[in-house]
């Protein structure tokens, strides 16, 4: 018996940093959605717990206990045994929750395989794991532990671009000058993608400026995406996204960017 679970790319459409706790954890307020592209986790019964990584982005992905996939498996059942195959398509450490989404998909797949319930809380695995466990548009607050459903997004097409630069998350947070910024006032219902784009233009990603300070190439990516309805960075970077009016427009933009910058990771997608 095998069970597979999709691990979609997570996109922070907004990311307001609203405070920092005494234990160092930052407080966030973010509108999160998910793309229809991502990794795939497949699990099967085995005599031990092990991990194999395949796919076009497998290079450099660890298969030892440092991988969050194995940590998630042991978190679900310390004595559970299975072989896990991670088919990797998303860039790592890119601000789109790749590792967290992989961990969440592992929890869903192993929960079905082992016939055990999902844990009540997963925030100790990482701030993005709870929101990735139920991939849909959500408002994420606190340290990632407070999730509020929002109205479904309109049909929204986008292009994701990562220029391949390393932007360590701790360095980005350390470079953030103000950590007590205003939260979002609320998330309305959007009639269409243009309405969503207009609202996003009034919001922020508080980590975008410090990330650009660490990796100025992000600014070049955003400049290349300025023909979209709205463009911004996701998470702590370096992946950026732009919204477009149709799938055809997003595909055409992705094709042109890929030809112009063959070293960049470029992917058209639909957000929901």
Catalytic pick among 29, 39, 102, 128: 128
All residues at 6 or more sequence positions from 79 whose CB lies less than 8 Å from its CB, including other chains: none
Let me know: does 239 contact 161? Beta carbons within 8 Å.
yes
Catalytic pick among 10, 71, 88, 253: 10
Q: Can you tell me the distance from the alpha carbon of 118 to that of 116, in angstroms, rounded to the nearest whole number?
A: 7
Dihedral-angle region of residue 254 (phi above 0 means left; psi in -120 to 50 means alpha; beta otherwise): alpha
Dihedral-angle region of residue 25 (phi above 0 means left; psi in -120 to 50 means alpha; beta otherwise): beta
10 in catalytic set: yes
Kindly report whether the peptide bond that precedes residue 238 is cis, defined as omega within 30 degrees of 0. yes
36 in catalytic set: no
Q: Which residue has the tokens 């205003």?
A: 182
Residues known to be catalytic: 10, 128
């Amino acid at each position: 018996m095998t069970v597979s679970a999709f691990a979609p790319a997570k996109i922070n459409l907004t990311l307001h940093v609203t405070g920092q706790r005494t234990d160092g954890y930052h407080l966030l307020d973010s509108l999160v959605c998910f793309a229809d592209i991502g990794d795939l986790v497949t699990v099967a019964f085995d005599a031990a717990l092990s991990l194999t990584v395949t796919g076009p982005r497998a290079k450099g992905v660890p298969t030892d206990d440092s991988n969050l996939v194995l940590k998630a498996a042991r978190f679900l059942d310390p004595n559970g045994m299975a072989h896990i195959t991670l088919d990797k398509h998303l860039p790592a450490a890119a601000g789109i929750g790749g590792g967290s989404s992989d961990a969440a998909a592992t929890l869903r797949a192993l929960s079905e395989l082992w016939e055990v319930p999902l844990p009540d809380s997963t925030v100790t695995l990482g701030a993005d794991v709870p929101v990735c466990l139920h991939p849909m548009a959500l408002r994420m607050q606190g340290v990632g532990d407070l999730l509020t459903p929002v109205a479904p997004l309109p049909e929204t097409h986008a292009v994701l671009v990562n220029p391949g630069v390393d932007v360590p998350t701790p360095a980005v947070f350390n470079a953030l000058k103000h950590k007590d910024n205003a939260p979002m006032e609320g998330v309305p219902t959007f009639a269409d993608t243009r309405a969503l784009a207009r609202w996003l233009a009034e919001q922020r990603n508080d980590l975008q400026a410090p990330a650009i300070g660490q990796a100025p190439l992000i600014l070049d990516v955003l400049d290349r995406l300025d023909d979209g309805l709205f463009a911004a960075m996701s998470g702590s970077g370096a992946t950026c996204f732009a919204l477009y009016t149709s799938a055809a427009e997003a595909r055409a933009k992705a094709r042109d960017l890929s030809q112009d910058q063959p070293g960049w990771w470029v992917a058209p997608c639909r957000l929901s």
